[in-house]
Amino acid sequence: MDESQEIVREFLVESYENLDQLDRDLVALESEPGSRALLSSIFRTVHTIKGTSGFLGLTRLERVTHVGESLLVELRDGHRLMDQPTTDVLLSLTDTVRAILTSVEVTGEEGETDIDAVIAAVEAIQAGAAAPDGASQDVPVEAATTEDAAATTVDETIGAYETTDELSAEQAAGSFPDEAVQAAVAAAVGVAVETAACDAGPQKRTSCRVVKPISAKVPEPHPATETPLEETGPTTEPVRSAAVEPAPAEPATPKSASAKSAPAEPATPKSASAKSAPAEPATPKSAPAKSAPAVPSAGGPAKRPVADAVDTGGRSATDTTIRVDVDVLDALMRQVGELVLARNQISRIAQGSAEQELVRAAQQLNLIAGELQEGVMKTRMQPIEHVWSKMPRVVRDLATSLGREISLEMIGKDTELDRSLLEAVKDPLTHLVRNAVDHGIESPAERVAAGKPAKGTLTLRAYHAGGQVMVEVRDDGRGVDAEKVAASAIRKGLRTQEQVDQASQQDMLQMLFLPGFSTAEKVTNVSGRGVGMDVVKTKIEEIGGNVEIESAPGKGTTCRLRIPLTLAIMPTLTVACGGDLYAVPQVNLVELVALDAAKEDSGIEYVHSAPVYRLRGELLPLVSLVDVLGVQADAPTVIAVLQAEGRRFGLLLDRVVNTEEIVVKPISARLKSIGLYAGATVLGDGRVALILDVQAIARTSLLVDVTSADDALSRAVDSASLSSEQVLVVGVGGHRVAMPLASVARLEHVATDAVESVGGRQVVQYRGTILPLLHLGAVLGAAPEKASDELLIVVYSNGHRSVGMVVDDILDILDDDVRTHSDVDDSGLVGSTVLSGVITELLDVRAAILAADPSFYDETSGDPYADLVGAIQ
């Protein structure tokens, strides 16, 4: 990267930070309109951007910030009071600046971002309430004159220094111009140290940096400058006095400027009450900006003492921080990881050794490496404030547009988590906040009617708990009615009535996170497009966290995000299978159940070849890791009960080895695409272990939604009544169609593009054979199946022949009571029945299959389907 690009990049990084600060300050200012500290901070920020953009030749940006600055000057000088239109216009100014910066970042050019609108808006505000003394009109003129004046000042200032005995030649004149220029570049670049505390413009940063050593060596500038000030006191020519004495000249220091230019203010003791020549209100502020490129050293030498004096109100903490490239930290992290592994080896050698010295050295190494690892981890941690800082603005804008009154409280800003996680949490959190404002908190009238204060409270809270970070978004709004949520889930076909009947309040609330769910009665531009909550959930689960929601109707709602401290280190359970070790993330682990291997019947039962386990009266579907991985292994001894994708299932394992905190190493996309592994890790003994992707395993190994499968399985085991039969209920083109479960071999997903055509019939390759497809919709004369990239297929088998019936949805597995059948039939059907309160059609399986494969039954002597159909009839 060449140097100028580097400068621009640093400028962008710095400006983005400044803009975030600006957003915060502006919103804070609205509630505290008179705050001089906030106004100064805002002014400095805009001023810095303006100064640097001038330096970098970004003229449009300079114009926008210039206009903003002149409005801010009026505010700061008390000629105008902060009100909502002003805030709005300043916020939109911030947005415009951000847009330009984005354009610079992307294209390297300022682009065509519309700046005229915002300039006009600012000018309209200014014209709308012209300052009492007409200062705004004066500004440009004054600025122009001051610019020259300031320029002269520099020369004179330097001149003055050359003749000043107090400063040595080396300190002052000799080194100034060069250093100043270098430092100006450095300041524009925003190198490492944030010197915001010593105030606004780049030229001022320069000053600080250049001056630092000097002021250290020369402790007297302060008294030195004060004396002449008193002497020159009565003069009405600030520029002149500046030329004589750099310190009081200080046209650039906003602090002193504000003191100077507000005639009504009691003059600050030393900053030139004399100078506050009422005739020149605009001088101090416009001068520094205008003179930016030309006068890097203008206030330079004298600035430091003043800056020190001003410091108290600034952001001094930033002086102690440096900016480090994340790549460097990542590299450090890797190296520490290697060190830890080397340490583990040494420890192992030491353990077997009788040499006391080696043992002691190994222990020492152990300790140091551990601390180092912790330290390096810390460097990647950032306070959650980085994400929250945007929230006041988000809440304010939304609340304004929706007519809500909301106060935002943020507790635990300092809670730290890994940088990469912070990034990942940003969008979900913003979404939750928007949701709370839009759906949670009621309008003021509604609130008062409900006996609550008109102003709603939105609380963001972050804290550490159990090795995780909890982030809560809580509102005191109307709350969520669990019953309503459940009813809505049924209406949208996301859940059946029966499932809802069995659900707890908590379960019902969790339905908010179902894909395609949205409780908003009308869609607003804020939320309620039905893409929200499930995306929040997905994103949080991607980083190994989870989301819970709690709500009390009328009292409020709390959404709680549980986020791991860091992505890089993960607590896992290491398990053995087929001679290799695998890591199972503990976040997915619910409990471990030991199987009694000694017993003949280990407790595993089979329902239609699907293994299940009775766990405290509930049937837990089981997945065998051996089958999943396709390896050879001994009989399983342990069930790990896992929770993923909203399902609970048991993973059959050879044995559990250990719990271990592992460092996650990425694996290549080729291995990820296998769909079983989330990553790899190096265990304490140096062996590589694969991390199982529990979500993916749940997705691929459990076909039917567990809740319904669970029902079905309980029924399968518990009911053996002759008058009823198990049927699989599927959805086809809006119909509910039932078919006998006994002959269903499997349920499969097949990619649409895997469908091939043979002799006019559609087929797919399935387990090495050709599986003819039967579109049930066509057979029943219903609407064709929904288009998607995957077909859902019910595989029916007879001997070694199979046929795949394409359906829209698998709805349920139910008991069909033969006595309720009616013979209202239609083509392809043998009748209908009432299943869980809904009329369901019974499929004539034989007829349907013959339509797909006329020779299906030819080879088999008996006709098993005839019996089945008969049973239903």
In the complex, which residues of this chain contact another protein (CB under 8 A)?
Answer: 334, 337-338, 341, 578, 580-581, 629-631, 665, 667-668, 670-671, 674, 676-677, 680-682, 686-690
Element (H, E) at 744: strand 744-751
State the greatest distance between any 2 C-alpha atoms of the chain, in Å, as a whole number.
122
User: Residue 100: CA atoms inside 13 Å, Cβ hemisphere, count?
Assistant: 25
- The encoded tokens of residue 101 equal 């910066």
Smallest gap, in angstroms, from Cβ of residue 24 to another protein?
A: 39
CA 813 – CA 315 distance, rounded (Å): 65
Q: How many other CB atoms are found less than 10 A from the CB of residue 263? A: 13
Looking at the Cβ atoms of 334 and 386, the one nearer to another protein is: 334
Of 213, 211, 276, give the one whose Cα is nearest residue 241.
276
- The encoded tokens of residue 377 equal 């981890």
CA 520 – CA 535 distance, rounded (Å): 16
Looking at the Cβ atoms of 455 and 665, the one nearer to another protein is: 665
Smallest gap, in angstroms, from Cβ of residue 678 to another protein?
A: 13
Smallest gap, in angstroms, from Cβ of residue 51 to another protein?
A: 40
Of 229, 241, 214, give the one whose Cα is nearest residue 268.
229
Three-state helix/strand/coil letters over 182-244? HHHHHHHHCCCCCCHHHCCCHHHHHHHHHHHHHHHHCCCHHHHHHHHHHHHCCCCCHHHHHHH
Smallest gap, in angstroms, from Cβ of residue 666 to another protein?
A: 8
> Which positions ≥6 away from 618 have C-beta within 8 Å?
710, 714
Residue with tokens 């159909």: 869
Smallest gap, in angstroms, from Cβ of residue 677 to another protein?
A: 7
Looking at the Cβ atoms of 81 and 674, the one nearer to another protein is: 674
Looking at the Cβ atoms of 219 and 686, the one nearer to another protein is: 686
Measured in residues, the chain has a length of: 873
Smallest gap, in angstroms, from Cβ of residue 325 to another protein?
A: 17
Smallest gap, in angstroms, from Cβ of residue 106 to another protein?
A: 25
Looking at the Cβ atoms of 629 and 847, the one nearer to another protein is: 629
Of 438, 474, 485, give the one whose Cα is nearest residue 555.
474
Q: Are 683 and 662 in contact (CB under 8 A)?
A: yes
Query: CA torsion sign, 701 to 706 to 710 to 712?
Result: negative
Looking at the Cβ atoms of 340 and 778, the one nearer to another protein is: 340
Looking at the Cβ atoms of 693 and 815, the one nearer to another protein is: 693
CA 767 – CA 180 distance, rounded (Å): 76
Smallest gap, in angstroms, from Cβ of residue 662 to another protein?
A: 11
Looking at the Cβ atoms of 690 and 791, the one nearer to another protein is: 690
Smallest gap, in angstroms, from Cβ of residue 212 to another protein?
A: 41
Of 291, 275, 65, give the one whose Cα is nearest residue 184.
291
Smallest gap, in angstroms, from Cβ of residue 574 to another protein?
A: 12
Smallest gap, in angstroms, from Cβ of residue 665 to another protein?
A: 4
Looking at the Cβ atoms of 582 and 857, the one nearer to another protein is: 582
Smallest gap, in angstroms, from Cβ of residue 342 to another protein?
A: 8
Smallest gap, in angstroms, from Cβ of residue 688 to another protein?
A: 4
CA 580 – CA 867 distance, rounded (Å): 48
> Which positions ≥6 away from 307 have C-beta within 8 Å?
197, 198, 199, 204, 207, 208, 253
Strands 381-383 vs 744-751: parallel, antiparallel or unpaired: unpaired
Spatial strand order of the sheet with 569-577 comes to 655-663, 569-577, 580-585, 688-692, 677-682
Smallest gap, in angstroms, from Cβ of residue 657 to another protein?
A: 14
Looking at the Cβ atoms of 681 and 798, the one nearer to another protein is: 681
Smallest gap, in angstroms, from Cβ of residue 369 to another protein?
A: 13
CA 248 – CA 268 distance, rounded (Å): 13
Which residues face 580 on adjacent strands? 577
Looking at the Cβ atoms of 331 and 839, the one nearer to another protein is: 331
Smallest gap, in angstroms, from Cβ of residue 328 to another protein?
A: 17
User: Hey, what long-range contacts does 215-222 have (CB within 8 A, 24 or more apart)?
Assistant: 215/304, 215/305, 217/171, 218/166, 218/167, 218/171, 220/166, 221/166, 221/247, 221/301, 221/302, 221/304, 221/305, 222/247, 222/305
Looking at the Cβ atoms of 375 and 579, the one nearer to another protein is: 579
Looking at the Cβ atoms of 402 and 682, the one nearer to another protein is: 682
Smallest gap, in angstroms, from Cβ of residue 347 to another protein?
A: 15
- The encoded tokens of residue 739 equal 């078919």
Smallest gap, in angstroms, from Cβ of residue 343 to another protein?
A: 11
Q: Are 618 and 647 in contact (CB under 8 A)?
A: no
Looking at the Cβ atoms of 676 and 791, the one nearer to another protein is: 676
Looking at the Cβ atoms of 670 and 819, the one nearer to another protein is: 670
User: Hey, what long-range contacts does 504-513 have (CB within 8 A, 24 or more apart)?
Assistant: 506/550, 508/482, 508/483, 509/480, 509/482, 509/485, 509/549, 509/550, 509/551, 510/548, 510/549, 510/646, 511/485, 511/486, 512/480, 512/485, 512/549, 513/537, 513/547, 513/549
Strands 744-751 vs 735-740: parallel, antiparallel or unpaired: unpaired
Element (H, E) at 795: strand 790-798
Task: Let me know the angle formed at the C-alpha of 861 by 859 and 866, rounded to the nearest 5 degrees.
Answer: 105
Spatial strand order of the sheet with 589-594 comes to 589-594, 638-644, 647-653, 618-624, 610-615, 604-607
Looking at the Cβ atoms of 241 and 681, the one nearer to another protein is: 681
Looking at the Cβ atoms of 365 and 847, the one nearer to another protein is: 365
Looking at the Cβ atoms of 697 and 716, the one nearer to another protein is: 697
